[in-house]
């Protein structure tokens, strides 16, 4: 008797998405390097006699040329980071959906957490990494998690929790004041952010490569079953 043809594996193309996400992370890291360079320039220039830009009680003095350029650098960096985030989330969604198609099991984390997991307090300390790990293990059981994933997440947490890095509630003028008074905490945080971006790019490439390999193997196995009579 003929065996029923295997259903083709439904998947979302992830290779190009992974390349774009990795590239976006590198670009965001470079933007943060430029930001750090400007903070060093501010520290070397020294605080003007008029004091910091944020005078307190809602009073801000006119900015000088260097301070204005720092505002421009941070604004451009914010745009690049936003684009990087969009590319990364697109890749993460595809990774998660492909892992579900490969394993046949429901993901551990609901799809909404692909987006909200980064901004909801407390859960943002582990949900994003958990989504990556869950998708990797579901799609490639038995494979060792790339070490770059843990390096990326560790540096990301340092940059996020430092108070001057990825998630910073201070205004740009207040950060300028910090650069004038004590630039080293800013530079340490900047280093963590850049390191997270670089490690993240390696993590995306490694995780993507494993899933692409598994998808190709699954499609090949499906083709062989389809050809069996």
What's the token pair of residue 26?
Answer: 């590198």
Model confidence band, residue 221 (pLDDT cutoffs 50, 70, 90): low
CB atoms within 10 A of CB 90: 18
Q: How confident is the model over 176-206, as pLDDT tens digits?
A: 999 999 999 999 999 999 999 999 999 999 9
pLDDT, tens digit, 9 for 90 and up, residues 60-119: 899 999 999 999 999 999 999 999 999 999 999 999 999 998 888 899 999 999 999 999
Look up residue 166 and give its two tokens: 């990825």
**Helix, strand, coil shares, percent, the chain, to 5:** 70, 0, 30
Domain spans, the chain: 15-215
pLDDT bucket at 22, cuts 50 / 70 / 90: very high
> CA 119, CA 112: separation in Å to the nearest integer?
12
Q: Quote the longest CA-to-CA distance of the chain.
A: 91
């Amino acid at each position: 008797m003929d065996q029923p043809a295997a259903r083709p594996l439904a998947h979302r193309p992830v290779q190009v998405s992974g390349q774009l996400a990795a590239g976006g992370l590198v670009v965001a890291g470079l933007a943060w390097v430029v930001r750090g360079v400007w903070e060093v320039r501010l520290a070397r220039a020294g605080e003007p006699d008029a004091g910091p830009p944020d005078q307190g009680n809602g009073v801000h003095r006119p900015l000088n040329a260097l301070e204005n350029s720092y505002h421009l650098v941070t604004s451009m960096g914010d745009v690049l980071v936003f684009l990087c985030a969009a590319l990364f989330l697109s890749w993460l969604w595809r990774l998660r959906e492909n892992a579900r198609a490969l394993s046949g099991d429901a993901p551990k984390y609901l799809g909404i957490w692909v987006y909200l997991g980064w901004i909801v307090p407390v859960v943002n300390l582990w949900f994003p990494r958990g989504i990556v790990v869950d998708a990797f293990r579901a799609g490639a059981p038995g494979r060792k998690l790339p070490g770059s994933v843990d390096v990326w997440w560790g540096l990301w947490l340092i940059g996020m929790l430092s108070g001057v890095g990825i998630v910073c509630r201070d205004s740009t003028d207040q950060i300028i004041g910090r650069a004038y008074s004590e630039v080293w905490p800013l530079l340490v945080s900047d280093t963590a952010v850049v390191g997270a971006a670089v490690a993240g790019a390696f993590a995306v490439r490694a995780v993507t490569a494993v899933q692409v390999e598994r998808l190709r193997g699954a499609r090949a196995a499906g083709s062989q079953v389809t050809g069996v009579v």
